[in-house]
Structure 1
């Protein structure tokens, strides 16, 4: 994992959050811990599929 990419993504998120707060616009993210954990769960599930190399290609499934 590239640490500079993580830092850049975090800074972008913080600046975007500040902009949303200053403009009094609701953020397009879950407002509580349960929602954040749901997003973290999606990421963990995605990484598990990659790790175990399982999944279905929609291209091959539909013959594209």
Structure 2
């Protein structure tokens, strides 16, 4: 849980700095892009769950 909180805080700091410097954010600017990243993560997790069953 600590790494999740640290990741969130780090992302917030990076977002703040990018906004301060008027740079484009280093992340998908739309919900669809964010959901794509979540989908990739979930796909890996499903594979890790299913792979042992396929052996």
Q: TM-score scaled by structure 1?
A: 0.75
1:42 aligned to 40, 43, 50, which one? Answer: 40
Q: Please report the RMSD computed on the Cα atoms of aligned residues, expressed in angstroms.
A: 1.1
Unaligned runs of 5+ in 1: 55-64
Whole-angstrom distance in 1 between the partners of 2:30 and 2:19: 16
The structure in which a higher percent of residues are helix is: 2
- Mark the runs of 5 or more structure 2 residues left unpaired by the alignment: none
Query: For residues 46 and 27 of structure 2, what CA distance do their matches in structure 1 show?
Result: 23
How far apart, CA to CA, are the structure 2 residues paired with 1:15 and 1:52? 36
Question: Offset of 1:28 from its aligned partner?
Answer: 1.8
Return the index of the structure with the highest Cα Rg. 1
